[in-house]
């Protein structure tokens, strides 16, 4: 079969293709016409979406493509169902772009899979096996499952997941390339892995529930980022914690008005069973803190409030540590990924008051009320260093697109894996 080639041009398309045409075609492929000003990335993404709509089985990028141009094309051309094959340019960036692309494919596949296929145990197992396949001798892992969670005191994950017949899981994975069992942990990653979120007794609408297979996007993103960093030569010790559960309704499900007592003594009144992500992340953050890692990063599709603030274009960054927040933002800028800081202060810890416990898990109003994303981050701040030193919370507003756009396909984006991988490599 003749290869379908895609090249770039700095000259406009001939008038026959229309005014300011993104694309022109030849017998063997297409040319993307870059604008006179700017980096051309948006143009490449829009052209890639149009080409993807032609259901071409595979394309070959030819000519002069910079790394970011190839990455922009890959992000937009790779649809969720039966994605086409991309043959990247055989230049100095080929190994790097292939590493990023494989991590993107893994991350997107994990998020886009059906909730029936992706149980909490399946999510934990697939994440662990993929990471181990990248560096078999440096990776070990364990899983705490079902009633074992209650016995071990991981009551957030246990209670959120106990309404399902498929048990919740805490995955602890240790990537230690040093060979020294006493090597310090430089970074601990924590991911929200809610494989399906009905909202529990605070049940979502049918429309609101449709895309809730994506509520494990945080777990997928930190796993994809760690895998990418390993393929890029990460040489420091990192631990990964995935907090995996299904939030379903049953006679055994947790209820509004329940009070949970965490391992660190914090008591939490459940005023919204649909604010479950922060309940599971609390366990993961405490487990991460036990490693004495110099950096703790958690990632979650946590609040609709972050999406209201930033749309589906940026990930929200929260930290009370100016140094690590700036490091995250600098990595994102260097990797051409969109991250944006939102406010987090000590007093956000108290923005969800409860007369029955130290705190509630939200405010008893739709979406948690004004400042909901910051209030959720404030809740999480109770489970890390009291001053927030060395901790970053990412609310992944750009992790998933329920509807396709002119630039992005429907489904998981995998945006963020490059920036987090870069931050991991920085910690050495």
Distance CA 208, CA 368 (A): 16
What's the mean pLDDT in 40-61? 96
Tell me the DSSP string of 205-241.
PHHHHTTGGGGGHHHHHHHHHHHHHHHTT--SEEEEE
CA distance 175 to 156: 25
Q: Which of 138-142, 280-284, 313-317, 366-370 has the lowest mean pLDDT?
A: 366-370
C-alpha to C-alpha distance for 187 and 288, rounded to whole angstroms: 9
| 303-314 average pLDDT score | 96
Confidence at residue 110, expressed as pLDDT on a 0 to 100 scale? 98
In eight-state DSSP terms, residue 195 is: E
Q: What residues are paired with 7 via a beta bridge?
A: 31
Lowest mean pLDDT, pick from 11-25, 328-342, 400-414: 11-25
pLDDT at 276: 98
For residues 41-70, average pLDDT: 96
- Please compute the mean of the pLDDT values over residues 260-272 and round it to a whole number: 98
End-to-end Cα spacing for the chain: 47
Q: Which pLDDT belongs to residue 1?
A: 56
Q: Is 278 a catalytic residue?
A: yes
Helix axes 94-112, 120-134, angle to 10 degrees: 170
Provide DSSP, 145-180: ETHHHHHHT-HHHHHHHTTSSSPPEEEEEEE-TT--
**Which runs of consecutive H residues, i.e. helices, occur in 232-359?**
277-289, 304-310, 322-334
- Give dist(CA 101, CA 89) in Å, integer: 13
- Work out the average pLDDT over 34-51: 94
204 is annotated as an active-site residue:
yes
pLDDT digits (tens, 9 = 90+) for 203-212: 999 999 999 9
Q: What confidence score (pLDDT) does residue 296 get?
A: 98
- Say whether pLDDT at 428 is over 90: no
Q: Which of 94, 96, 132, 204 is catalytic?
A: 204
Taking residue 7's Cβ as centre, other Cβ atoms within 10 Å add up to 16
Catalytic residue among 192, 278, 363, 382: 278
pLDDT tens, 364-400? 887 788 899 999 999 999 999 999 999 999 999 999 9
Tokens for 199, please give them. 């909202």
Q: What was the pLDDT predicted at 314?
A: 98
pLDDT of the residue at 36 = 86
pLDDT band with cut points at 50, 70 and 90 for residue 39 = confident
The DSSP output letter for 215 is G
Q: Write down how long the chain is.
A: 428
């Amino acid at each position: 079969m003749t290869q379908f080639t895609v090249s770039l041009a700095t000259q406009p398309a001939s008038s026959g293709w229309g005014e300011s045409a993104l694309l022109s075609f030849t017998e063997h492929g297409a040319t993307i016409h870059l604008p006179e000003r700017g980096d051309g990335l948006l143009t490449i993404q829009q052209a890639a979406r149009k080409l993807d709509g032609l259901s071409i089985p595979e394309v070959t990028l030819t000519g002069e493509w910079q790394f970011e141009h190839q990455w922009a094309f890959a992000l937009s051309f790779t649809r969720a169902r039966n994605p086409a094959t991309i043959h990247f340019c055989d230049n100095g960036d080929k190994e790097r772009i292939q590493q990023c692309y494989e991590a993107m494919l893994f991350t997107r596949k994990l998020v886009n899979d059906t909730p029936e296929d992706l149980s909490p145990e399946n999510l934990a197992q697939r994440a662990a096996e993929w990471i181990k396949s990248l560096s078999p001798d440096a990776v070990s892992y364990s899983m705490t499952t079902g009633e074992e969670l209650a016995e071990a005191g991981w009551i957030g994950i246990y209670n959120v997941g106990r309404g399902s017949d498929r048990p919740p899981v805490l995955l602890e994975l240790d990537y230690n390339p040093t060979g020294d069992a006493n090597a310090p942990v430089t970074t601990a990653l924590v991911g929200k892995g809610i494989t399906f979120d009905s909202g529990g007794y605070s049940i979502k609408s049918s429309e609101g529930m449709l895309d809730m297979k994506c509520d494990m996007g945080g777990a997928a993103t930190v796993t994809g980022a760690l895998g990418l960093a390993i393929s890029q030569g990460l040489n420091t010790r990192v631990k990964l914690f995935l907090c995996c559960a299904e939030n379903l309704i049953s006679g055994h499900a947790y209820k509004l008005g329940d009070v949970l007592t965490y391992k660190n003594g914090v008591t939490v009144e459940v005023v919204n069973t649909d604010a479950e992500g922060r309940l599971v992340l609390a366990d993961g953050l405490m487990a991460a803190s036990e490693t004495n890692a110099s950096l703790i990063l958690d990632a979650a599709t946590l609040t609709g409030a972050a999406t209201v603030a930033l749309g589906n274009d940026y990930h929200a960054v929260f930290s009370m540590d100016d140094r690590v927040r700036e490091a995250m933002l600098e990595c994102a800028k260097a990797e051409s990924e969109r991250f944006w800081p939102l406010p987090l202060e000590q007093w956000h810890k108290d923005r969800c008051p409860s007369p029955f416990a130290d705190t509630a898990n939200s405010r008893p109003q739709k979406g948690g009320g004004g400042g909901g994303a910051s209030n959720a981050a404030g809740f999480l701040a109770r489970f890390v260093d009291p001053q927030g030193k060395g901790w970053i919370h990412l609310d992944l507003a750009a992790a998933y697109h329920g509807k396709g756009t002119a630039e992005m396909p429907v489904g998981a984006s995998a945006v963020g894996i490059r920036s987090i991988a870069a931050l991991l490599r920085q910690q050495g």
